[in-house]
Structure 1
Amino acid sequence: MSTEADNPAERHWQRNLTVCVFGAFTTIVAMTLLLPFLPLYVEHLGVTDPAAVVQWSGIAFGATFLSAALTAPLWGRLGDRYGRKLMLIRASLGMAIAMSLIGLAENIWQLVLLRLLAGLLGGYASGATILVATQTPKGRSGWALGVLSSGIMAGSLAGPLIGGLLPPLMGIRNTFFLAGGVIFITFLATLLLLKEVPRPPRTAGQQQADKVSVWRQLNNPRPVVTMFVIAGVLMFSTMSIEPIITVYLMELHADHLTLMAGLVMSATALGSILSASRLGKVADRIGHWRIVTLCLAAAAALLIPQALVTQPWQLVVLRFLMGLALGGLLPCIASIIRHNVPQGIAGRMLGYSTSSQYIGQVLGPVAGGFVGGHLGMRWVFLATFVLMAGCALVTLTQRPSTSS
């Protein structure tokens, strides 16, 4: 019998991965399906001024990431103490309730508060990342996290498409009710099918370790801190571009503007879906640090021609190629963190990584809009190139000598 099968923490990792991919996909779909009709829902809730509609749409969208960033380390710490499955049960049930309540909102303040609640109670995808990272054989962790990342990116791709199709057929509010029902199925699958190894009774030494700073428990905090920074800058860079794509295509005189904008955004997600598990598998063999450095360098190099395109189809191709490069980053970042921290604080440290990503998602659109509005759309791509190239240089110079 294989060593993996003898390890109770890794015995059910394949079934756990299947449940986590399904759960992450459905929850991400639910979180992103409102993108195409969010301004319409804001108007439906009584906001009439066009500028106010845009402002409130941005606030409502960013509210979830803000509350998720603040609570991710807490859920990671509770997962370390009480079990990761329990955190996924909490997240799926909380998301099912929050999404259903959003469909009952009567004014804009209720919508924003409920979006905050969704971020506070949610976090299934980040919790699934922690469970898969900690209960998968280390030799397969890059591949498994790549598969999970593909599920997350597939949710990001499918969410806006589903959100564009359902409201005309069943109404905006019923779309939220349906999303809540689907996430409730995720809750049942997590409750009944997910298998986490029973946690041993906490020893006096472990209880005493809880009082010690997590940083003092790390032999070498530099790789972990580096990955926190890279994760945050990565999401900052990605989200600084997404909001200006439609305006950029207007400057390129694109026909069928909304369709072309959807193709450009979907191309990046599709590329990531196709590459995530493959790059994760390669990283398991040649080293996660190498893949992170190569992917960052490739993504940076692809940003320069994006600033120089003259035709919309060129942007579609370049964004797809960039998606191929981006697909390997988050799985490898999670693997590096997992391999450099003790098991007892893995959830907490991966929670900090998630928080840094959420912070990037909140600040990125603000920065991208500011640079694009004051300097021009092409400068957003060039500024992002500088950030990504800098990250590639950091990972190249900060890579531990003992890392593969």
Structure 2
Amino acid sequence: MEMWKRNLKVCWFGMFVTGIGMSQIAPVLPLYIQHLGIQDSASIERLSGIAFGSTFIISAIFSPIWGHAADKFGRKPMLLRASLGMAIVISCMGFAPNVYVLVALRLLQGAITGYSTACTTLIATQTDKEHAGYALGTISTANIAGSLLGPTIGGFVGETFGLQNVFFITGGLMLIAFITTVLFVRESFSREDNKVLSFKEVWNTVPEKGLTITLFITFFILSVAMYSVEPIVTVYVTQLSKEASHIALIAGITFSASGFANIIAAPRLGRLSDKIGAHKVMLICLVIAGIIFIPQAFVTNTWELMGLRFLLGLTVGGLNPSVNILVKKITPSALTGRVFGFSMAAGYLGVFAGSVLGGQIAGYLGIKCVFFVTSALLLINAVLVYFKVYNKLNINNNHRMEKYEKGIRNGKLQVSGK
């Protein structure tokens, strides 16, 4: 088996578990905080928001740092550091004596992340151009699917096995990811740049600054769109099925429906990106995703909402891989880890912003407006991608084709002249 294929399988599992570890606490967090002795509902809500959101803010800060370390010391050491560190920290959450220790451990979890950044960089740098779309499409499903399925898994484990076991089981899975990384991941790494570059020096080295910024913005908005519904999905499901029991489980399944679809669609759309171009897949999927959000505001039952969330996941399956493919294409190999670190930071900020935005819009304007605003963000982003990415890459491709055809004509003339 080729080295990149074996690494892809190991990294997929590790990123999937990491995604679960980052999001599985969401449905059980208020209950666990109450279990730790906080009884006032306002305090529980406030502390839940701090404990959940702080992890992603800290992750956004540290992702570029770990991306730089991956470029300097190798990607496999970063995989081992992150997987073992998260296994220990998440397991310790199950032993937290009070809510303040829990919040501190969530902050530490955010600081030691970097598994996804190292995985993406490893696969991007090892995979040949012909299979880049498929590989990055496959790897992108792992973190997204883990993040979207995490709330359902966390809610099920917490309800079935107890709240503390949510942390122990996730920590155990991270330990398995660490062991499989030690045994099966292979990396032929040569340090291409020993110099520690500042952010300004790194940025000055990036050749396509405008295109890179547009891709970061796109990844940020995608994360906002996927998580804007998280704060309101339980309330929305309650409104749609007032007589149903197990509302929390139904809400988790509804939220996670897009994760299931993402697993199905991303590798296939990644292959399509290899054939027709990632910029084309990105633009089409952005438009369709923006449209699919609108009917979610008009559903009459949870099955319709689940179906639309599933369709949304199919389109999102073509977005994150396209961003990663284009980032890989325009970034020098020596800077791949750092640039992917910044991209991942934009995603973490999007998760936090989406959660906050969805809750605030629902509180002030109503739940249905969350879907309208999210749709507008995606469609505006589609316009930005059309002018800043799609047109630019089409022009560049046309120029390359003209040079190629000119070279062929010149070659024929030379042959005929002989």
TM-score (norm: length of structure 1): 0.91
Alignment of 1:4-403 (within 5 A): 12-200=3-191, 206-207=193-194, 210=197, 213-256=201-244, 257-399=247-389, 400=392, 401-402=395-396
Q: C-alpha distance in 2, partners of 1:103/1:162?
A: 16
Deviates more, 1:64-73 or 1:121-130: 121-130
Cα displacement (A) at 1:158: 4.3
Q: C-alpha distance in 2, partners of 1:85/1:207?
A: 17
Deviates more, 1:70-79 or 1:146-155: 146-155
- Partner residue in 2 for 1:8: none
Structure 2 alignment gaps of length 5 or more: 399-418
What RMSD, in angstroms, separates the aligned Cα atoms of the two structures? 2.0
Q: C-alpha distance in 1, partners of 2:29/2:110?
A: 17
Q: C-alpha distance in 2, partners of 1:93/1:176?
A: 14
Q: C-alpha distance in 1, partners of 2:281/2:100?
A: 44
Q: C-alpha distance in 2, partners of 1:403/1:89?
A: 40
Cα displacement (A) at 1:349: 0.5
Cα displacement (A) at 1:385: 1.1
The number of equivalent residue pairs is: 391
Change in 2 beyond 3 A, CA 1:255/1:328: farther
Question: Identity of paired residues, percent?
Answer: 40
Q: Select the structure of larger CA radius of gyration.
A: 2
Alpha-carbon contact 2:156-2:249 (below 8 Å) kept: no
Change in 2 beyond 3 A, CA 1:111/1:290: same
Q: C-alpha distance in 2, partners of 1:249/1:177?
A: 29
Cα displacement (A) at 1:253: 4.3
Q: C-alpha distance in 1, partners of 2:123/2:167?
A: 28
Cα displacement (A) at 1:209: 8.5
Cα displacement (A) at 1:169: 4.9
Cα displacement (A) at 1:124: 1.4
Alpha-carbon contact 2:262-2:316 (below 8 Å) kept: yes
Alpha-carbon contact 1:254-1:260 (below 8 Å) kept: no
**Aligned residue type for 2:42:** A
TM-score (norm: length of structure 2): 0.88
Alpha-carbon contact 2:155-2:248 (below 8 Å) kept: no
Structure 1 alignment gaps of length 5 or more: 6-10
Cα displacement (A) at 1:208: 5.9
- Per-residue deviation, residues 267-322 of structure 1 (Å, max 9, x unmatched): 11111111111111100110001111111000001111112223332212111111
Change in 2 beyond 3 A, CA 1:152/1:57: same
Q: C-alpha distance in 2, partners of 1:199/1:177?
A: 37
Q: C-alpha distance in 2, partners of 1:129/1:135?
A: 10
Cα displacement (A) at 1:134: 1.6
Cα displacement (A) at 1:220: 2.2
**Aligned residue type for 1:352:** F
**Aligned residue type for 1:94:** G
Q: C-alpha distance in 2, partners of 1:326/1:255?
A: 32
Change in 2 beyond 3 A, CA 1:189/1:253: closer
- Per-residue deviation, residues 349-376 of structure 1 (Å, max 9, x unmatched): 0100000111111111111111111111
Secondary structure in structure 1 of the residue aligned to 2:59:
helix
Change in 2 beyond 3 A, CA 1:263/1:290: same
**Aligned residue type for 2:23:** T
**Aligned residue type for 1:226:** T
Alpha-carbon contact 1:254-1:312 (below 8 Å) kept: no
Q: C-alpha distance in 2, partners of 1:385/1:140?
A: 32
